[in-house]
Amino acid sequence: MKTQSKPFVAVVGGACAGSEAAYQLAQRGIYVAVFDQQTLPYGKIEDGLPKWHIKLRNKEEAKIDSKISHPNVFFVPQTKLGRDISFEELVNDWGFSAVLLASGAWRDRPLPVEGVDEYVEKGLYYQNPFVEWFNHHHEPEYKGRDYHVEENAIVVGGGLASIDVVKILMLETTVNALEKRGINADVLTLEHQGIPRFLEKHGLTPEELGVKPCTLFYRRRNIDMPLSTIPADATPERAEKAKMVRVKILKNAQEKFLFNFMERCKPIDKIVENGRLVGLVFQRTEIVDGRVKSLPGTEFEVRSPLTISSIGSIPEPIPGIPTKGELFVISDENTGKLDDFEHVFALGNAVTGRGNIRESELHSRKVVEYVMNEFLKWPSEEEGPAISGRALPAEQIEALKNRVKEMQARVGYDGDYQKWAAQHRPVRLEELVNFSK
Ligand SMILES: Cc1cc2nc3c(=O)[nH]c(=O)nc-3n(C[C@H](O)[C@H](O)[C@H](O)COP(=O)(O)OP(=O)(O)OC[C@H]3O[C@@H](n4cnc5c(N)ncnc54)[C@H](O)[C@@H]3O)c2cc1C
């Protein structure tokens, strides 16, 4: 069949936001190349969302699979922007009609304690690689980082992800302690039942098992934890209710997973011994007009063999993409357009900064609507004949397809997405331990 003139768009990152954008474009008859650094384009669904969310993970990954399988989408796995293709090359040399960045937020916000990053993996872990380890270390072929959990750990955080981190620590340390007593346990069953109930079934109390709990340190109060959202226009009663929900969520998690919580404490210094981080110095705070105020003279030391920082994720810097502070420089969150580039747009977690699947998808849809309607001016079939200054001539489309094919061949991908996904899907813990709810 003769190749038609049409736009051809590059999407970087094929997870919730990227696959949604690719699908919307593909449905409009536009060609899309989706580049992802990983073998499978599942992003934080695979490496962030903890592995006990079996149903949610499977549902979201099936959605991504079906979107990436659209015949107008050309998937390019194991290809990282900034490593395998430079940003300048993709934007200036390839000749795509538009470039969409859906690369998420993979870098941990640095723990604000001077010099502490020297101790990464020497007493200090960051949340993103730690959760990735948790999700995958059971796999028989696992070749990632070799992380070790410790009892009595310090977790610095406060958001939903930090609750997952303390849960992971409590689950893993409890499984280890049970193993020493000859009791076989797995984190899925333990998470489902809660630690006290599981122990009770084995005739044990938490005190008898004797796992030293980890502690979550938060610089604000329990009522400030963003565990449930308070809309900007909430009445005082509604806001009060939401704060009570936050307290309840935290209390339930503590009851089920037995971790400690310390509010109004911020880390200000490190404790180092023999080249390892062995604790932090905290300072008490108070909240005045919504702001965190430090209270000098209230400093105290907490010693621990392991500190995990879980204070938020930001986009990884990609050489060539201007950033302001932690974020890409974009003019308007609704269009996602990068300030310095006419045809580059960012979407999803990379822009919203909020770790939420639905928000990533909705933001992606908003940006891609703008790109299709206002930027590419490429109407749907019902809206009439497609005429756009952004459509590429047939020869350029063929050249792009060939270049994409070369990139695919480079990593041994033959273009059959479903086959590739089936071959590379990781071994699941529930298959190994025979877990079912
Ligand atoms: C611990 C934890 C728990 C969570 N729990 C929940 C929950 O219960 N409910 C919920 O709604 N949300 C939850 N989230 C958040 C949710 O997983 C994310 O918000 C969502 O998956 C983000 O989707 P995204 O497509 O915007 O970004 P990502 O999932 O980060 O996808 C980005 C994609 O881009 C690729 N990529 C990145 N950089 C490059 C590059 N340079 N070149 C090529 N490819 C690149 C990545 O491989 C990835 O596939 C959780 C997150 C974490 C960390």
Mapped to the 3 state alphabet, what secondary structure does the chain carry? CCCCCECEEEEECCCHHHHHHHHHHHHCCCEEEEECCCCCCCHHHHHCCCCCCHHHHHHHHHHHHHHHCCCCEEEECCCCECCCECHHHHHHHCCCCEEEECCCCCEECCCCCCCHHHHECCCEEEHHHHHHHHHHCCCCCCCCCCCCCCCCCEEECCCHHHHHHHHHHHHHHHHHHHHHCCCCCCHHHHHHHCHHHHHHHCCCCHHHHCCCCCEEECCCCHHHCCCCCCCCCCCHHHHHHHHHHHHHHHHHHHHHHCCEEECCEEEEEEEEECCEEEEEEEEEEEEECCEEEECCCCCEEEECCCEEECCCEECCCCCCCCEECCEECECCCCCCEECCCCCEEECCHHHHCCCCHHHHHHHHHHHHHHHHHHHCCCCCHHHCCCCCCCCECHHHHHHHHHHHHHHHHHCCCCCCHHHHHHHHCCCCHHHHHCCCC
pLDDT score at 384: 63
Which of 49, 53, 107, 155 gets mutated to test ligand 1 (max ligand atoms within 8 A of its CB)? 49
How far CA 288 is from CA of 221, 232, 293, 391, in Å, comes to 11, 19, 7, 55
What is the percentage of the chain residues whose pLDDT exceeds 70? 98
Using only the alpha carbons of the chain, give its radius of gyration: 24
CA of 35 to the centre of ligand 1 (A): 15
Any idea which residue has 């384009």 for tokens?
Answer: 41
CA of 318 to the centre of ligand 1 (A): 17
pLDDT score at 385: 62
CA of 12 to the centre of ligand 1 (A): 13
Give the number of the atom of ligand 1 that is nearest the alpha carbon of residue 47: 53
Domain regions of the chain by residue span: 8-106+315-433, 109-312
Give the number of the atom of ligand 1 that is nearest the alpha carbon of residue 354: 19
CA of 62 to the centre of ligand 1 (A): 15
pLDDT score at 325: 80
Write down the CATH superfamily of domain 109-312. Answer: FAD/NAD(P)-binding domain (3.50.50.60)
Ligand 1 neighbours, Cβ below 6 Å, are 12-18, 35-38, 41, 43-45, 48-50, 80-82, 102-104, 106, 131, 161, 164, 316, 318, 348-349, 355-358, 360
**Amino acid, res. 82:** G
pLDDT score at 428: 96
**End-to-end CA separation in angstroms for the chain:** 50
pLDDT score at 331: 82
- Bridge partners of 261? 216
**CA 35, chain centre distance (Å):** 17
CB 40 within 8 A of CB 62: no
Q: 8-106+315-433: what fold?
A: Rossmann fold (3.40.50)
Residue 283: both structure tokens together: 């300072």
pLDDT score at 354: 77
Q: How far apart are CA 13 and CA 297, in angstroms?
A: 47
pLDDT score at 291: 95
Closest residue CA from atom 46 of ligand 1: 43
Q: How far apart are CA 282 and CA 262, in angstroms?
A: 11
CB 101 within 8 A of CB 13: yes
pLDDT score at 147: 97
For residue 181, with 0-12 CB atoms within 10 Å meaning exposed, 13-18 middle and 19 or more buried, which class applies?
exposed
Give the number of the atom of ligand 1 that is nearest the alpha carbon of residue 16: 25
CA of 105 to the centre of ligand 1 (A): 7
CA of 264 to the centre of ligand 1 (A): 29
pLDDT lower than 70: segments of the chain: 1, 381-388
Give the number of the atom of ligand 1 that is nearest the alpha carbon of residue 19: 25
Same fold, 8-106+315-433 and 109-312: no
Backbone φ and ψ of 156, nearest 5°: -105, 125
CA of 120 to the centre of ligand 1 (A): 22
Report which of 132, 142, 139, 199 is spatially closest to residue 170, judged by C-alpha positions: 199
Give the number of the atom of ligand 1 that is nearest the alpha carbon of residue 355: 19
**Amino acid, res. 190:** L
Residue 156: both structure tokens together: 């610095």
Give the number of the atom of ligand 1 that is nearest the alpha carbon of residue 35: 43
Q: How far apart are CA 21 and CA 68, in angstroms?
A: 10
Q: How many residues does the chain have?
A: 437
Q: How far apart are CA 320 and CA 93, in angstroms?
A: 14
Any idea which residue has 């610089």 for tokens?
Answer: 219
pTM over 0.75: yes
**Amino acid, res. 223:** I
CA of 103 to the centre of ligand 1 (A): 8
